[in-house]
Amino acid sequence: MRRADTLSVPASRTPRYELRIQAHGIGDLELEVWQIPSSATPELKHPQRVAGLRGRNLALIETRLLRRLKRAGVEVAGIARGGSRSRAIDEDLALNVGLLFRVLAPMRDRSNMAACAEGIEAMSREEAAYWLGMAMHRKNPRRVLTALRYLLTEPKAVKHQRAA
């Protein structure tokens, strides 16, 4: 037996995620990331919603997100009005997209939203898992998300103030 075989983790021991897509109308999609019960997550008895996004905030990042989903093999197009579809996604994509949705959901400033989206896409898997875990399991998740938004947008604001 090779050493690499002994170190590999069976596929059933990894958390399972799915992307749920609902078409509410023409150009009105809602995307949600859900964690599905598996042997890796025995504490989950029912699917748990990680995050979701719809409307204007989704429209801002939709092209970038759809391109990324397509690279991962998830096709979003072709859903009839009022229809829905679920697709399994890997853990890396689920962590990153879930964090992206949670951070962007309450935001209004387009430039800050773009800065946050770029910062989250640049995050490593471990960093995204850390921030999403903090946002899901802390007593005050809004504070965690506010801190992350601040970290992702503030350096640009400071540079702008110094230039003036």
The beta-carbon contacts of 122-131 under 8 Å, at least 24 apart in sequence, are 123/96, 123/99, 125/91, 125/92, 125/95, 125/96, 128/92, 128/95, 128/96, 128/99, 129/95, 131/99
**DSSP-assigned letters across all residues of 108-162:** --HHHHHHHHHHHHTS-HHHHHHHHHHHHHSS-HHHHHHHHHHHHHHHHHHHHHH
pLDDT at 159: 53
SS3 164: coil
The pTM is what? 0.82
Would you state the pLDDT for residue 31?
95
Number of domains observed in the structure of the chain: 1
Predicted pLDDT of residue 9: 43
Each residue's pLDDT, cut to its tens digit, for the chain (164 residues) gives 444 444 444 456 889 999 999 988 888 899 999 999 988 888 889 999 999 999 999 999 999 999 999 999 988 877 888 889 999 999 999 999 999 999 999 999 999 999 999 999 999 999 999 999 999 999 999 999 999 999 999 765 555 555 55
Q: Is residue 35 within 8 Å of residue 44, measured between CB atoms?
A: yes
pLDDT computed for residue 79 by the predictor: 82
What residue numbers bound the domain in which 62 lies?
Answer: 3-163
**Bridge partners of 48?**
35
Residue 51 β-bridge partners: 33
- Coil vs helix vs strand at 38: strand
How many Cβ atoms sit within 10 Å of the Cβ of residue 15? 16
What pLDDT, on a 0 to 100 scale, did the predictor assign at position 44? Answer: 85
